[in-house]
Structure 1
Amino acid sequence: MNEPIAALRALRSVELRTTACPESADFYAGIWGLRTVEQGPDAVWLRGSGEQHHVLQLTAAPRNGLGRLSFALATPAEVDAAARRLAQRGLPILAGPGPVETVGGGYGLQFADPEGRVIELLADTFAVARLGREDAVPVGVTHVVLNTVDIDAAVAFYTDVLGMRVSDWSEHQMAFLRCNSDHHSIAFNRAEWTSVNHVAYEMPSVDHFMRGIGRLRHHGVLPLWGPGRHGPGDNTFSYFADPAGLVCEYTSGIAQVDEDRWLCRVWRRVPELSDTWGTAGPPSGETRTHMAGVADPGAFERFPELRERIPGAAALSGIGAVPVTAPGKY
């Protein structure tokens, strides 16, 4: 059995493709609490109060979707080793390994999973100073929930190839995966098509979490669902829609996993475990529609033969078939 290609340290940042880039940039850099670090004609990069150069990239696109997931590695040597292991597995590389020439810098590579999501592994990115935590603003991205047409295949890929560990299941509907002590940095949700469900941003405490919700309410932005506290992960939640209709979440207090003691659990999908506080009620139809998103071909749109090159991709339902070009520069 092949070893994982790398030891992931953390979810570093997320790129979202958005139909409302200028409006969403104003939203995230305004009342949501992130700060713009760089802006181009079709993209904007935003940071939280933590040490990541940026945690969110918004890229203008004709439909909403996931641009890429960026994970931190410790060193460029680990990126090079990941490239060798990808080649051994027959997984094509989309870019790198090598110096990253775009915003944030670093040394990295990109490849795609069997549903076309672009995964980036990065080391040595630009350093930024941590900001004060007095204001009710996010530290950074803490997890992303992804809709999948085959939850078992998705979990198998992210555990086998990326070395993530399953923390818990919510029956056979959701799986929560970790790459460090946080209960989950990626979760998969069974759905009719591949898409991004939501992106969650860590608030330093429950007090910051509630004050952030209050700030949005002051600006007339009400939660789609929440506030409440989930059973799996034990984290607080309050979900909102950004100007493009993509779902963003404030959260705090994620459970910490002791690798030597943690036992994976299968949670029942009942209201009292979806929200242990009992304050949020069930998610509305509008919330579910926002979280379903739209079918997202991801990398398969740019590389229409890639689907035939990624083991297992061709077996997944219907988002096209894909050519991989030679590994590209950043």
Structure 2
Amino acid sequence: MTDTLNRIPIEQLRYVRLGTADLNGATDFAQRILGLQLVNRTETEAYFRSDYRDHTLVYVAGDPSHQAVGFELRDPETLDRAVAALEAQGFMVGRDDGEGAQRRKARRLASFRMPGGYDVELVVRPLQSGWRYHGPRDAGMTGLEGVALRGAPDASDQDVWTRLLSGAVSDWVGEAAYIRFDEAHHRIAVHPSEGRGVLAVEFGVEDVDLIMQNAYFLRAAQVRIVDGPGRRPFSNQLFVTFAGPDGVLFSYVCEGERFDGARRARQFPRARGSFCAWGSETAIAEYQ
């Protein structure tokens, strides 16, 4: 793998794109249940805001296995270097600065497939919004916080995130790696798994009261809660996780450690108590 001095510098987690077999149903879920703001709808795509970014979630009509996570790079020169570094490591990299970039509402776009079966998209100058986020219900949303991914069983995804991309492991739970790009404890969680693709998309809310209020709302709306409410011992995040369309989970999270890089990464045992300090139960294999 490439030398760490030449890693691709990630600026920010920007969005998640999810294929869906039912665009109308997924759009209803994103608005009515998640509380996201619909900003654009075409025959094949629906774009949703959660914060100052133009969009953080896109549902795309088609194969639900087509999933991508988008990250911002600083400038076109950085993107060119990233493409060269990826190709030097054997990745097939797609470039589309035309229609593809326009659909991502960015000026430049490159993408490649991770071993875990999802795409990573690198964009330059993604669109911001000058208007405050205003959702259809008051979920207390603060923005897109992170993405949990099903990585390849041999942990090769983790190697790409930390050696080629600019991620750093904050903690491990078993072989699951919690990876940061900024001061947050993690933006990406990579769970070695026999499954493939995006496991969960996580949105921040203001405080513990909003975690519990949203949990009550989900139960009243007959949405299946699959994990929590609880607290993650490794990151100190409060969370509640629930089922979404096409087998993808969603979480509301709040609080959590802000990481200054001063401490070493820690190893937690792969046990249920390492995933939830409150003792909540789950049937999700990656969280057991």
Q: TM-score, normalised by structure 2?
A: 0.88
- Cα distance in 2, alignment partners of residues 98 and 59 from structure 1: 18
The share of aligned pairs that are identical, in percent, is 25
1:72 is the counterpart of 2:72: yes
- Cα distance in 2, alignment partners of residues 270 and 115 from structure 1: 23
- Cα distance in 2, alignment partners of residues 194 and 131 from structure 1: 32
8 Å contact 1:4–1:163 — kept in the other structure? no
8 Å contact 1:69–1:120 — kept in the other structure? yes
1:81 is the counterpart of 2:81: yes
Question: Which one of the candidate residues 122, 133, 153 is aligned to 1:150?
Answer: 153
* Distance change >3 Å, CA 225–CA 114, structure 1 → 2: closer
- Cα distance in 2, alignment partners of residues 111 and 272 from structure 1: 35
* Distance change >3 Å, CA 116–CA 94, structure 1 → 2: farther
Unaligned runs of 5+ in 2: none
1:197 is the counterpart of 2:194: no
User: Where does residue 54 of structure 2 map in the other structure?
Assistant: 53
Q: Which amino acid aligns with 1:107?
A: R
User: Where does residue 273 of structure 1 map in the other structure?
Assistant: 274
- Cα distance in 1, alignment partners of residues 7 and 98 from structure 2: 16
1:34 is the counterpart of 2:33: no
- Cα distance in 2, alignment partners of residues 210 and 78 from structure 1: 42
* Distance change >3 Å, CA 243–CA 68, structure 1 → 2: closer
Shift of 1:151: 4.3
User: Where does residue 107 of structure 2 map in the other structure?
Assistant: 106
- Cα distance in 1, alignment partners of residues 139 and 117 from structure 2: 35
Task: List aligned pairs for 1:1-330, cutoff 5 A.
Answer: 1-2=2-3, 3-48=5-50, 50-62=51-63, 64-96=64-96, 100-128=101-129, 129-131=131-133, 135-172=138-175, 174-259=176-261, 261-278=262-279, 280=280, 282-284=281-283, 287-288=284-285
DSSP 3-state at the match of 1:181: coil
8 Å contact 1:76–1:107 — kept in the other structure? yes
Q: TM-score, normalised by structure 1?
A: 0.77
Shift of 1:46: 0.6
8 Å contact 1:231–1:276 — kept in the other structure? yes
Shift of 1:55: 0.5
8 Å contact 2:232–2:238 — kept in the other structure? yes
DSSP 3-state at the match of 1:65: coil
8 Å contact 1:76–1:108 — kept in the other structure? no
RMSD of equivalent CA atoms:
2.5
Moved more, 186-195 or 98-107: 98-107
DSSP 3-state at the match of 1:248: strand
DSSP 3-state at the match of 2:225: coil
Shift of 1:45: 0.9
How many correspondences in the alignment?
Answer: 283
Unaligned runs of 5+ in 1: 293-330
TM-superposition CA deviations, 1:224-257 (whole Å, max 9, x none) = 2210111122111111112433211111113211
* Distance change >3 Å, CA 88–CA 246, structure 1 → 2: closer
Q: Higher RCO, 1 or 2 (CA under 8 Å, sep at least 6)?
A: 1
Moved more, 204-213 or 29-38: 204-213
8 Å contact 1:151–1:188 — kept in the other structure? no
Shift of 1:132: 6.8
* Distance change >3 Å, CA 151–CA 34, structure 1 → 2: farther
Shift of 1:81: 2.6
DSSP 3-state at the match of 1:30: helix
